[in-house]
Amino acid sequence: MLWVDKYRPKTLDKVIVHEDVAQNLQKLVSAGDCPHLLFYGPSGSGKKTLIMALLRQIFGPSADKVKVENKIWKVDAGPRTIDVELTTLSSTNHVELSPSDAGFQDRYVVQEIIKEMAKNRPIDTKGKKGFKVLVLNEVDKLSREAQHSLRRTMEKYSASCRLILCSNSSSKVTEAVRSRCLNVRINAPMEEEIVNVLDFIAKKEGLQLPQGFAARIAEKSNRNLRRAVLTFETCRVQQYPFTNNQAIPPMDWEQYLSEIASDIMKEQSPKRLFEVRGKLYELLTNCIPPEIILKRLLFELLKKLDSELKHEVSHWAAYYEHRMRLGQKAIFHLEAFVAKFMSIYKSFLISTFG
């Protein structure tokens, strides 16, 4: 088992990073009920960990007994029936799913599937817990229609069903949904907190972790706890005992992108653009989302760039990022950005060095 999963805190009182939030949540559900919740915060800050711990707090150990199901749902949409395939993870008291996996059919998922699940109330022998919890991941990726139908569902079935929504950014969740939930903001952990977690893991694993090294991992992880732990485990495989200035292996796609960036800086020609396109295809094939590619590429380019160009390059990156969201085929826009950068950079080189 990966350390990320192995040392994931199981209950709210064992949480290290967001202790205050955990305590509040504990108080919140002490009466056995809770409002709808919206957890939001950057990736790797511990949203899912808190949600799982919360579920255990409410339902006890039965929340651990989950099964993964890949089921095809038949949804009646007017004149025809639509098949929506969706993976769900469920225990007796909660169901977790990512509606955005269904792509543009997400509104059917929200309307029909959730409705159906919310309708059957769990029958508890003690008659205590009269509600079921639905955990919805990546709510910010839901389409607008889906979010609207989510709002109706929330009101209609509030007696039998609690929703826990999880998203990276609350700004993409509509106001209507936000106002119906208790919003819980989960900040990215501070670097010291990450170091604490790493220390905790090292102690449990019986490893010697030099402070300087832990700080470097924390810094590299960009305040992403999951990443820090994964990197830590990787370093353990690569070299042990640790030294303070041990190399931290970068993620392969990041390294690849930094190679692309240096390719771009070296030569600016249609031929090079074509090569870059091939490399971008390689990244896309490996499911790296285009937005992340663009962001990282900009980051790598900015590192090497003269400060007077930074503004313009960032502007164009933003422009094409927007385009990418509107369009479908990301490569067109990524390539346009690369071409624009090459064009800017070349004219800059010519004007400075002649």
Residue from 231, 242, 300, 301 in contact with another protein (CB under 8 A): 231
Binding to another protein by residue 169, rule CB under 8 A? no
Binding to another protein by residue 335, rule CB under 8 A? yes
Nearer to another protein, 34 or 260 (CB): 260
Separation between Cα atoms, residue 108 and residue 75, nearest integer Å? 7
Interacting span for another protein (CB under 8 A) from 23-31, 32-40, 177-185, 334-342? 334-342
Nearer to another protein, 146 or 154 (CB): 146
Name which of residues 109 to 148 contact another protein (CB under 8 A).
Answer: 137-138, 143, 145
Nearer to another protein, 4 or 154 (CB): 4
Say which residue the tokens 């090294």 belong to: 213
Separation between Cα atoms, residue 264 and residue 66, nearest integer Å? 48
Beta bridge partners, 67, equal 90
Nearer to another protein, 152 or 158 (CB): 152
Sign of CA dihedral 341, 342, 343, 345: positive
Binding to another protein by residue 5, rule CB under 8 A? yes
Residue from 16, 29, 66, 302 in contact with another protein (CB under 8 A): 66
Binding to another protein by residue 237, rule CB under 8 A? yes
Nearer to another protein, 27 or 252 (CB): 252
Name which of residues 286 to 305 contact another protein (CB under 8 A).
Answer: 286-289, 292
Q: In what order do the strands lie in the sheet with 132-136?
A: 67-77, 80-90, 94-97, 132-136, 161-167, 37-40, 182-185
Compute and round to an integer the Cα radius of gyration of the chain: 24
Binding to another protein by residue 149, rule CB under 8 A? no
- For residue 89, give the 3-state DSSP assignment: strand
Nearer to another protein, 158 or 234 (CB): 234
Nearer to another protein, 1 or 159 (CB): 1
Question: What residue type is assigned to position 63 of the chain?
Answer: A
Residues 6+ apart with CB under 8 A from 160: 118, 119, 121, 130, 131, 132
Name which of residues 182 to 211 contact another protein (CB under 8 A).
Answer: none
Binding to another protein by residue 309, rule CB under 8 A? no
Cα angle 83, 87, 91 (rounded to 5 degrees) comes to 125
Binding to another protein by residue 227, rule CB under 8 A? yes
Nearer to another protein, 68 or 123 (CB): 68
Say which residue the tokens 């501070």 belong to: 190
- CA nearest neighbour of 188 among 299, 40, 52: 40
User: What's the token pair of residue 37?
Assistant: 């919740």
Binding to another protein by residue 329, rule CB under 8 A? yes
In angstroms, what CA-CA distances link 166 with 41, 45, 50, 139, 183?
9, 12, 11, 6, 10
Binding to another protein by residue 97, rule CB under 8 A? yes
Q: How many chain residues touch another protein (CB under 8 A)?
A: 75
Q: How far is the CB of 20 from another protein (least distance, A)?
A: 22
Q: How far is the CB of 289 from another protein (least distance, A)?
A: 5
Cα angle 303, 309, 313 (rounded to 5 degrees) comes to 80
